[in-house]
Chain A
Amino acid sequence: MNPNPQSSDGKHDDDSALSDFLASLMDYTPTIPDELVKHYLAKSGFQCPDVRLIRLVAVATQKFVAEVASDALQHCKARQAAVVKDKRDKQQKDKRLILVMDDLSKSLHEYGVNVKHQEYFADSPSTGIDPASREE
């Protein structure tokens, strides 16, 4: 008997925490716009008139993208630290952080998305150069 009310209280707490969170979502504007999320949710068959759920999905997607991007950033910084060159151009370029396909594919691989990028297309003079140094 005793644990039941406790667990039910716990559940109430969790529910209230969830509902509070959902309410607070309305104050926070996610970077991913609502219309875009609505479009893709409608495409998938998701039906819900509640705006808070859409915000939840938007926030979740933003979190996902942020995580992937931060992993890619870490890969990029690791690569820049590994490259040791004395040229000043390289040092100046090191400050610029570019989202490169290589880093992205590595970080996405951890999330189960297998992205394979073409090494090069032999259609321009700058083919086959190290992709980090090639400005696209």
Chain B
Amino acid sequence: MKDGGLENKKELENSKKQSNSSKFRSKSDDFALSIAKVAVAQVCESIGFQSFQHSALETLSDVAARYIYTLGKTANFNANLAGRLESNVFDVIQGLEELESGLGFAGASDVNRCLANSGVVRDIVHFVGDAVDVPFAYDIPRFPVVKDRKGMGSFWEKGEEPHGEHIPSWLPAFPDPETYATQSTVGNGTMSGSNGVKTGLVRVEWKVERPLLNFQQQFARNGNVGDSSCGGGDSTKAKEASNSNPYLAAPLHFGEKEVDVSPVVLPTKLSNEVASRDPIPENRFLGNQVSVLETFATAIEAMKSGICEYDGSRQKNVLYNQRPTVHFKIGIGKKSLNSAPYFISKNKDLQKIAYWFENGNEKDDRKRRAEIFSKESMECSHESVKNE
């Protein structure tokens, strides 16, 4: 078994098997593998086993899956060899004989045997006769689920005339101009690149704060249907798009429109948290289920307490919003860090988000906003001063 000369061959085979196994068992196959595990466990239970080791069950189910796969592959190969596309019962029997040839079956040495009364089939017949009918434990839906993709209609289907003679009518039609006219791609100044079509129909002027504002508004809106975010270009389609997808909403010029959104009502639990200054264990307990706004809200409340101490310190991106209750603040001074130790981790997320939108430097606007911001914070910081 362990020859000196054969060891290298085995290693080669093992490495090949590993590469094959990585292709066979992909991440998308997890569902099928788990079903196989259940099926194999049921079979083993009918044999007489009472429990399994996890690794043993996984190995056996993997082997069973490979058995099916190899059987299918061999049957397909045999069918193709005979010049057929669809496999036959005889192809399957030939595949079975090939798999069973390691152990041997009755009549294997018979050269002139007929496939129909092959020993393999007889064994299976015996097995079916003896075995207890144990159906599978669960109801399985058809898988993998194939999504019905609604293809984009061609010019011909839509009844449109292509823009030029060089465009054949069977190609998919261009999207409607309204959809990309007021489209706001978040985080990037280049808009026409996403469509690849320069019709020159609409031009949207870009400022850095706009995607920031939109993002902030979507955060603050918290699920309300955003009909107030439509700035310029009020076509019905844009409105529909913005209603369904806030990221397609028209971008606002800075300070252009009064955003009419109801103020955020912090859950009492969180506001109590801030008041009691004991946020750490509860935040951790909530874990991933805390909505983004709530996480930011606690951070914001903590921030507000530290606002009065420093004024105009280094602020990378002050996101200004009409509603004073929600403030995003990225750059923070040292004092607030000391007072809210958990804030460090939150700050990283905020910094990440700020980094996404950071584009260009417009310091005049920022300074102006910082002044307005500080003024407003002076006005509304009543509770936090008490706590501090």
Contacts and interface: CB of A to CB of B under 8 A. Distances in A.
Interface in B97-146: 99, 102-103, 114, 116-117, 120-121, 123-125, 127-128, 131, 133-136, 140-144
Interface of B: 32, 35-36, 39-40, 42-44, 46-57, 59-60, 63-65, 67-73, 75-76, 79, 85-89, 92, 96, 99, 102-103, 114, 116-117, 120-121, 123-125, 127-128, 131, 133-136, 140-144
B86 A73 contact: no
From B36, B43, B57, B134, name the one whose CB has the most chain A CB atoms within 10 angstroms. Answer: B43
B63 A113 contact: yes
A66 B43 contact: yes
A51 B123 CA distance: 20
A24 B121 CA distance: 13
Task: Give the 10 A-B residue pairs with the shortest CB-CB distance, closest first.
Answer: A44-B72, A46-B72, A14-B116, A41-B72, A40-B68, A99-B52, A14-B117, A44-B73, A33-B136, A69-B47
Contacts, number: 191
A73 B47 contact: yes
Nearest to B134: A31
Contacts of B117: 14, 17-18
A87 interface: no
Nearest to B136: A33
A108 B64 CA distance: 11
B76 A45 contact: yes
Nearest to A95: B50
Nearest to B125: A21
Contact of A99 (B60, B125, B134): B60
A70 B47 contact: yes
Interface of A: 11, 14-15, 17-18, 21-22, 24-25, 28-29, 31-33, 35-37, 39-50, 52-53, 56-57, 59-66, 68-70, 72-73, 96-101, 103-104, 108, 110-113, 115, 117, 136
25 contacts: A14-B116, A14-B117, A15-B116, A18-B116, A21-B125, A24-B128, A29-B136, A33-B35, A35-B35, A36-B32, A44-B76, A45-B76, A60-B96, A61-B67, A61-B71, A64-B99, A65-B67, A66-B127, A97-B48, A99-B52, A99-B57, A100-B56, A108-B59, A111-B102, A113-B63
Contacts of A43: 69, 72
A103 to B, nearest CB: 8
A26 to B, nearest CB: 12
Nearest to A14: B116
